């Protein structure tokens, strides 16, 4: 894995129409680890992802993604958005959905090669969805669709995979499978995951960014406490669990 950090933010502020959504964000994310971004609704998580993807520009500060500008890094980023709006009756197969991910490399004008199809099948296999390759995408469950969209993001072999709420609408059993998949993928790439799922924070995430206009970054070596979460969410948070659950205690925000 490269020594170049996957992300470097230095004094970044950003917003919309004169409203500051992110203020003075500074952190560095090492490559080959999984970063979880947590925070309340409206805290600026999606805005941070848009900055990483180069879809919006910061008002001030600098951003490096994989050692490059966000725009230059974009071909090396795989992105799985929170919502996938599509017509469930649209006659497109799972394999065709994954092949769409190759457009970024091949352009719209060119037909898929046998190499593209082989790659799409390889990544469908990796996410455990190869047996569904010829099913219509609309016939799959939410969790199964999420795996297909992850395969579509992976088919360009990104160095950075960004997932916005990957477990939204996914049942508990599928969530566990999804986290196991992410653990495997982490060996090959950096993963950034926006999540409201505290169990994901405990189970598979290395580093944690608590975001509510300001960002507090916590390295893997720290843990997560209700106090640190309460500070980000601006309200008391209680962690409720049955039995002995692995948990983490983070340092206080400065």
Ligand X SMILES: Nc1ncnc2c1ncn2[C@@H]1O[C@H](COP(=O)(O)OP(=O)(O)OP(=O)(O)O)[C@@H](O)[C@H]1O
Chain residues in the site for ligand X (CB under 6 A): 16-17, 21, 39, 41-47
Q: Which helix (H) or strand (E) holds 150?
A: helix 142-154
Rounded to the nearest 10 degrees, what angle do helices 142-154 and 114-126 cross at? 130
User: Tokens 């593209």 — which residue?
Assistant: 116
Task: Output 25 or 98, the one with its CB closest to ligand X.
Answer: 25
Minimal distance in Å, beta carbon 197 to ligand X?
12
Task: Output 44 or 101, the one with its CB closest to ligand X.
Answer: 44
Minimal distance in Å, beta carbon 50 to ligand X?
8
Q: Which helix (H) or strand (E) holds 207?
A: strand 207-212
- Is the dihedral angle over the CA atoms 174, 43, 246, 179 positive or is it negative? positive
Task: Output 15 or 32, the one with its CB closest to ligand X.
Answer: 15
Count of alpha carbons within 13 angstroms of residue 177, beta-carbon side: 14
Minimal distance in Å, beta carbon 19 to ligand X?
6
Minimal distance in Å, beta carbon 33 to ligand X?
22
Minimal distance in Å, beta carbon 82 to ligand X?
7
Minimal distance in Å, beta carbon 38 to ligand X?
10
Q: Nearest Cα to 7, choosing from 43, 38, 32, 24?
A: 32
DSSP 85-130: ---TTS--BHHHHHHHTTHHHH-TTSPPPHHHHHHHHHHHHHTT-G
Please, what is the Cα angle at 23 between 20 and 28, to 5 degrees?
140
Task: Output 130 or 198, the one with its CB closest to ligand X.
Answer: 198
Question: Cα separations (Å) of 217 from 29, 97, 229?
Answer: 9, 35, 12
Task: Output 61 or 128, the one with its CB closest to ligand X.
Answer: 61
Give bridge partners of residue 207 from the DSSP assignment: 35
Task: Output 133 or 170, the one with its CB closest to ligand X.
Answer: 170
DSSP 41-70: TTSSHHHHHHHHTTSS--SEEEEEETTB-H
Task: Output 51 or 151, the one with its CB closest to ligand X.
Answer: 51
Minimal distance in Å, beta carbon 57 to ligand X?
13
């Amino acid at each position: 894995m490269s020594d170049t950090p996957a992300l470097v933010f230095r004094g970044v502020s950003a917003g919309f129409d004169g409203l500051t959504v992110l203020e003075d964000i500074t952190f560095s994310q090492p490559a080959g680890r999984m970063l979880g971004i947590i925070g309340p609704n409206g805290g600026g998580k999606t805005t941070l992802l848009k900055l990483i993807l180069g879809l919006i520009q910061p008002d001030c500060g600098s951003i490096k993604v994989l050692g490059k500008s966000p725009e230059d890094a974009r071909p090396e980023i795989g992105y799985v958005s929170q919502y996938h709006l599509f017509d469930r009756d649209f006659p497109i197969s799972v394999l065709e959905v994954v092949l769409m991910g190759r457009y970024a490399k091949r352009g719209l004008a060119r037909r898929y090669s046998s190499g593209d199809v082989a790659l799409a099948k390889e990544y469908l296999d990796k996410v455990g969805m190869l047996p569904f390759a010829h099913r219509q995408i609309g016939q799959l469950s939410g969790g199964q669709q999420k795996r297909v969209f992850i395969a579509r993001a992976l088919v360009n072999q990104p160095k950075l995979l960004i997932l916005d709420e990957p477990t939204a609408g996914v049942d508990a059993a599928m969530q566990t499978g999804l986290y196991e998949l992410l653990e495997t993928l982490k060996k090959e790439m950096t993963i950034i995951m926006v999540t409201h799922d505290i169990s994901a924070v405990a189970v598979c995430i290395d580093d944690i960014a608590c975001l509510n206009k300001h960002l507090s970054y916590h390295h893997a070596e720290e843990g997560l406490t209700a106090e640190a979460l309460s500070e980000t969410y601006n309200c008391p948070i209680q962690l409720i669990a049955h039995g002995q659950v692995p948990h983490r205690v983070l340092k206080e925000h400065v």
